[in-house]
Amino acid sequence: MRVFMALLLLLAPCTAVAGEGHGGGQTKHKSGSFFMITADKLFSIEMELEGDALKEGENKAEIVIHDKNDKDVKGASITLTPWMPGMGHGVPEVPVVKEEEGFFGSRYHVENLMISMGGHWEILVEVEKDGVKDGAVFDFPDVGGKGMSGMKHEKVKAPADLDLATARLSEKKMFSVSYTSDPPSPPMNRIHTWNLTVTTPSGEPVTGAMVMVSGDMPEHGHGLPTEPEVTDETAPGVYLVEGMKFSMPGWWVVNFLVKSGGREDSVTFNLRLK
């Protein structure tokens, strides 16, 4: 982590804008690509993103590396590190880079470039060739997120008496709802499942309900990095929630909307992850 932060200080980021070239011997070759000169001017890095923009979720890219004489660089080691400067975290997934030599020279294909949420992102691209290493930071100030169906969130400070109960009545007291996590303590940066139990206030199972899931990190103003959903009713009134994931420590809320027999009510659970 300290090494990455030192590199960010060393490599002053420039906004990665498609269509901008840089002067000198290193030039931009493709319209619509993102282009940077590395910190010590040893290489130029030209990156084409699938869909022409960085997005939340998995991204793919193609990178072309040229030396300071604008010659194609083959056989280099390329690493990409996504980083969210405002949040102080990256992602657990490691981008995969494979070199492919074609008619126009070497191209480095990037897969599994994961962006966990919308917001301001930087991607550090490091190039190593024959023992020489240099890099550049591509800046993406406004990556559009899709968490909570693309809703924007107002930032809210956590209350001092935050209720962390795992069982509670729904807002209109139509249902009694509780959850357990698998594993028992919800992990960070790992997809896992929840079991949601829905009963009447008197304890009778509510079967065949429609249950919708959403989540939020109120202090940071963003939603879940995934879109969890109920996939099965494993026992009367017990619903399997798949795709749960929390991307960082702090206060999270998870909301469930329950519809059954003409009744509709919602319930919210608080979590504080460390």
Q: Is 47 helix (H, G, I), strand (E, B) or coil?
A: strand
| 46-58 residue pLDDT tens | 999 999 999 988 9
For 61-80, the three-class secondary structure string (H helix, E strand, C coil) is EEEEEEECCCCECCCCEEEE
Check residue 154 and give its pLDDT.
54
Q: 102 exposed, middle or buried (CB, 10 Å; 0-12, 13-18, 19+)? A: exposed
* C-alpha neighbours within 13 Å on the C-beta side of residue 179: 27
Check residue 8 and give its pLDDT.
46
Q: Which CATH class is domain 149-273?
A: mainly beta
Q: CA torsion 84→90→95→99, rounded to 10°?
A: 60
Check residue 107 and give its pLDDT.
93
CATH 3.40.50.720 fits 2-144, yes or no: no
The rounded distance, in Å, linking the Cα atoms of 9 and 78 is 20
| 12-30 residue pLDDT tens | 444 454 434 344 467 777 7
Amino acid occupying residue 234:
T
Cis peptide before 85 (omega within 30 of 0): no
The rounded distance, in Å, linking the Cα atoms of 63 and 169 is 53
Check residue 2 and give its pLDDT.
45
Domain ranges of the chain: 2-144, 149-273
The rounded distance, in Å, linking the Cα atoms of 61 and 53 is 10
Element of type H or E holding 193: strand 192-199
Check residue 10 and give its pLDDT.
47
Check residue 165 and give its pLDDT.
97
Check residue 226 and give its pLDDT.
84
Question: Digits of tens for pLDDT over the chain (274 positions)?
Answer: 444 444 444 444 444 544 343 444 677 777 789 999 999 999 999 999 999 999 988 999 999 999 989 999 999 999 999 988 776 778 888 999 999 986 667 899 999 999 887 788 899 999 999 999 999 999 998 887 544 333 444 567 777 889 999 999 999 999 999 999 999 999 988 999 999 999 999 999 999 999 999 988 887 767 788 889 999 999 999 999 999 999 888 899 999 999 999 999 999 999 999 8
DSSP 98-146: EEEEETTEEEEEEEEEEE-SSEEEEEEEEEEETTEEEEEEEEEEEEPP-
The rounded distance, in Å, linking the Cα atoms of 4 and 7 is 5
The rounded distance, in Å, linking the Cα atoms of 218 and 226 is 16
